[in-house]
Amino acid sequence: MLIEIAQFLTILSTGLFFLNFLFAFFFDSSDRHMASLVSKVYTHSSLLLATSFFIYVWLAVSDNFSVLYIAQHSNSNLPTFYKITSIWSAHEGSMFLWILFLVLWGALFNFVTQNSQDLKIKSMGVISIIIVGFLLFLLLTSNPFETILPIAPANGADINPVLQDPALAIHPPFLYMGYIGFVIAFAHAIAFMVEGNPSIKWESLVRTWSIAAWVFLTIGITLGSWWAYYELGWGGYWFWDPVENVALMPWLAATAFIHSLSVSSKSSSLRIWTILLSIIVFSLSLFGAFIVRSGIIDSVHSFANDPERGLYLLTFIGILIIGSMTLFSSRLSMLSSGSVIKTFSKESFISINNIFFGVLVFSTMLGILYPLIYESIYEQKISVGAPFYNAIFVPMAVLACIFLFFSIGAKWQRKLVISSFVNSISLSVFISGFLVLLAYKLLSIHGIWELISIFAGSIIIVRYLFVIWDYLSKKKYSNPFSVIAHIGLGILMISISLNNELSSERALNIKINQSDTYQGYQIKLTDLKLVNQPNHDSIQAIFLVTDPIGNNFYLKPEKRKYFARGQITTETDIHVTLLKDIYITIGDQLKDGSWIVNIQFNYFIRWIWFSAIMMGFAGVMLIVSLNRTR
């Protein structure tokens, strides 16, 4: 009964959202009563959908296996936390969550803004029609409410143990919140172009929302990277997997977007950019959903086996993208500000910055598409791996850093006078050159691109330290969010380079009670324990590691065999220090009783995530300050 109620609520809300779209677009939205009607209908329909979702959560928690999806992806032995997270472990449920978030962003926006705010009602209309599109997709092609009748199975499926992991369970919601959060900006851009009144400052209306979505996306990507690092046993933090790239593209475009927004909320000079970018960011988010859910790319084939899903999504996304682009090109003259961007003003630097991000998005897209195109032309399977992305991303990031370096101190609508910063610029270059020399001599880093990247990262950091110094000593104003986020970028550049150059790994062959040394670390296999757990047996190898100074610590990697389907998994163990991780995995046992052990020294890996968190933190601070000054 509950299942039918939940499904009915979803259908009902679909109808109401459609009605809301009609109200918002085809009646006079300047009418106060109409506006309040749209707002109210939206609130009620989102309550219906949220209720439906919570019933669904309850069905999962209470082990209602007559729901096909829950039977397939949950199990009564799971802890409640994983019963809930199992909802988004596959296609139907994660689509449901995606829609819930879409509805919630709209509801939050509806809740905190006045009905009389510019563009609000039309934006709500755009959001409503997008919700309807996704809800129809859910109900028609991927119904999560489908039941197994007449007899429900006594228990659910055996769950893949790899899925029972906190970071894996929580990073999709962050990513979804990020992707779909840009709907507010997109809806406003459409409403703005439809309304056709260039005096409305649409940029300042969406700035907070876009930064919030960007923060979610940043955190989601970081969590995903962290999960891949410890779970896959590979020691890497980024694999250029198509699914990762699909998350990276909206992030890159969104970063360009929020930079442009900061210009446009001061003057309207970059309006064409901001409108275009808001469409691109949202399109890339939707494109990601299409790639992941259509089964086009090999690594995701098991997400969906139904060709109708791909076709539906493609049609829906196609209409949205081509429709909004057509609207955009027909309103070009309304969007152009007429004001000329002064060379060497802050605006001019941010425009150039957009070009860098554009190249990165284009290259990533190419890396995803090229194998598909190549295969259909030459009938030869190919893949595009890390070397291609490195060849593009590294020089681009260095160039962007150098531009950023010279643009620090630039002012809005005024020409940057480089000569007033000559001291700190030359000092930064000097100090960074010295640091690169140190890296070369002391850490023996010889990779040319690594050295250049370290230089590029450190000129930014040092230059911003001067900015902070100026602020503290002379009370010279600086934008704290930009300082924090860009110092994060500098740290990211340096830590990626150091990680790339310093990290090393070695496979060792050790018998019990024997030891081996690697890079001055003595690794002794002291014990092997058989640990019996409710759902798996595990062999735990206990290593006593002695570092060069003589400190001891234990590392306990495991090899687990799950009863359910005899699946074997490897659990790494990691000793975290400030500069590096000592990361151990065990492989197979050889005939002579010895074990293959892989030891890795992963340098500065924590710093990579730390720098991403710094950027996210800067975003949060900016949101807080924007709303305080309002």
Partner 1 sequence: MKFILRTFVIILPIALISFFYLYINDNDYYPGADYRNYDLPQFELTELYSNADISNEDLEGTYLINVWASWCITCRVEHGFLAKLSNQNIPITGINYKDEREDAIKWINKFGDPYKLIIHDYKGSLALDMGVTGAPETFLISNGEVLVHYRGEVNNMIWQDVFIPVITKYELFK
Partner 2 sequence: MKAIRQKRLITVFVILIFSGLGSFLIFKALDSNLDFFFTPSELIERTIPDNKRIKIGGMVLEGSVIRDKTNITFQITDYKHSIAVNFDGVVPDLFKEGSGVVALGYLDNGIVYAEQILAKHDENYMPPGMDIEK
Which residues in this chain contact partner 1 in the complex, by CB under 8 A? 68, 71-72, 148, 153, 156-158, 272, 276, 283, 290, 294-296, 301-302, 304-307, 310-311, 314, 317-318, 321-322, 325-326, 328-329, 332-333, 336, 369, 372-373, 376, 564-566
Tell me: does residue 313 bind partner 2 (CB under 8 A). Answer: no
Partner whose footprint covers residue 468, from partner 1, partner 2, none (CB < 5 to 8 Å by kind): none
433 in helix, strand or coil?
Answer: helix
| Per-position DSSP letters for 53-107, written without gaps between them | HHHHHHHHHTT-TTBHHHHHH--TTS-HHHHHHGGGSSHHHHHHHHHHHHHHHHH
Partner whose footprint covers residue 166, from partner 1, partner 2, none (CB < 5 to 8 Å by kind): none
The secondary structure element, H or E, covering residue 508 is: strand 504-510
Binder among 152, 267, 570, 621 for partner 2 (CB under 8 A): 570
Do the beta carbons of residue 481 and residue 619 sit within 8 Å? yes
Binder among 36, 116, 197, 299 for partner 2 (CB under 8 A): 299
Tell me: does residue 577 bind partner 2 (CB under 8 A). Answer: no
Q: Under the phi-then-psi rule, with left for phi > 0, alpha for psi from -120 to 50, and beta for the rest, what region is 197?
A: beta
Partner whose footprint covers residue 564, from partner 1, partner 2, none (CB < 5 to 8 Å by kind): partner 1
Alpha-carbon gap, residue 330 to 327, rounded angstroms: 5
Could you tell me which residues are beta bridge partners of residue 525?
Answer: 543
Tell me: does residue 311 bind partner 2 (CB under 8 A). Answer: no
Alpha-carbon gap, residue 433 to 422, rounded angstroms: 16
603 in helix, strand or coil?
Answer: strand
Task: Give me the least distance between CB of 26 and partner 1, in Å please.
Answer: 26
Phi, psi of 345 (to 5 degrees): -90, 170
Alpha-carbon gap, residue 335 to 260, rounded angstroms: 14
Tell me: does residue 374 bind partner 2 (CB under 8 A). Answer: yes
Tell me: does residue 537 bind partner 2 (CB under 8 A). Answer: no
Do the beta carbons of residue 192 and residue 204 sit within 8 Å? no
Partner whose footprint covers residue 505, from partner 2, partner 1, none (CB < 5 to 8 Å by kind): partner 2
Q: Which residues of 170-204 are buried (b: 16+ CB within 10 A; e: fewer)?
A: bbbbbbbbbbbbbbbbbbbbbbbbbbeebebebbe
Alpha-carbon gap, residue 286 to 575, rounded angstroms: 39
Binder among 387, 520, 534, 550 for partner 2 (CB under 8 A): 387
Using a 10 angstrom Cβ sphere, with 0-12 exposed, 13-18 middle and 19 or more buried, the burial of residue 476 is exposed
Pick between residue 332 and residue 507 the one whose CB is nearest to partner 2: 507
Partner whose footprint covers residue 367, from partner 2, partner 1, none (CB < 5 to 8 Å by kind): partner 2
Pick between residue 322 and residue 418 the one whose CB is nearest to partner 1: 322
Do the beta carbons of residue 524 and residue 547 sit within 8 Å? no
Task: Give me the least distance between CB of 30 and partner 2, in Å please.
Answer: 39
Pick between residue 377 and residue 578 the one whose CB is nearest to partner 1: 377
Alpha-carbon gap, residue 564 to 585, rounded angstroms: 23
Max Cα-Cα span within the chain = 84
Count the residues of the shown chain that bind partner 2, applying the rule CB under 8 A: 61
Do the beta carbons of residue 82 and residue 164 sit within 8 Å? yes
Alpha helices by DSSP H, 475-525:
480-502
Stretch that binds partner 2, among 6-14, 464-472, 473-481, 561-569 (CB under 8 A): 561-569
Task: Give me the least distance between CB of 392 and partner 2, in Å please.
Answer: 6
Alpha-carbon gap, residue 584 to 541, rounded angstroms: 10
DSSP state, residue 302: G
Stretch that binds partner 2, among 188-196, 212-220, 518-526, 567-575 (CB under 8 A): 567-575
Instruction: Tell me which residue of 185, 163, 152, 140 sits closest to 68, measured CA to CA.
Output: 152
Instruction: Tell me which residue of 359, 374, 388 sits closest to 240, measured CA to CA.
Output: 388
Using a 10 angstrom Cβ sphere, with 0-12 exposed, 13-18 middle and 19 or more buried, the burial of residue 426 is exposed
Q: Which tokens in the block code for residue 414? A: 């005024």
Pick between residue 193 and residue 404 the one whose CB is nearest to partner 1: 193
Do the beta carbons of residue 270 and residue 413 sit within 8 Å? no
Pick between residue 417 and residue 590 the one whose CB is nearest to partner 2: 590
Alpha-carbon gap, residue 443 to 266, rounded angstroms: 45
Pick between residue 150 and residue 520 the one whose CB is nearest to partner 1: 150
Pick between residue 32 and residue 301 the one whose CB is nearest to partner 1: 301
Pick between residue 485 and residue 586 the one whose CB is nearest to partner 2: 586
Task: Give me the least distance between CB of 507 and partner 2, in Å please.
Answer: 4
Partner whose footprint covers residue 332, from partner 1, partner 2, none (CB < 5 to 8 Å by kind): partner 1
Amino acid type, 616: G
Binder among 27, 230, 234, 344 for partner 2 (CB under 8 A): 234
Stretch that binds partner 2, among 198-206, 209-217, 235-243, 461-469 (CB under 8 A): 235-243
Task: Give me the least distance between CB of 535 and partner 1, in Å please.
Answer: 13
Partner whose footprint covers residue 322, from partner 2, partner 1, none (CB < 5 to 8 Å by kind): partner 1
Tell me: does residue 388 bind partner 2 (CB under 8 A). Answer: yes
Alpha-carbon gap, residue 64 to 80, rounded angstroms: 13
Pick between residue 18 and residue 65 the one whose CB is nearest to partner 1: 65
Tell me: does residue 73 bind partner 2 (CB under 8 A). Answer: yes
Tell me: does residue 507 bind partner 2 (CB under 8 A). Answer: yes
Task: Give me the least distance between CB of 287 and partner 1, in Å please.
Answer: 8
Question: Tokens 């894996």 label which residue?
Answer: 168
Binder among 47, 51, 66, 244 for partner 2 (CB under 8 A): 244
**Residues in touch with partner 2 (CB under 8 A):** 72-73, 89-90, 157, 160, 162-163, 168, 232-234, 239, 241-244, 292, 298-303, 359, 362-363, 366-367, 370, 374, 380-385, 387-388, 391-392, 505, 507-509, 559, 565, 567-570, 585-588, 590-591, 594, 596-598
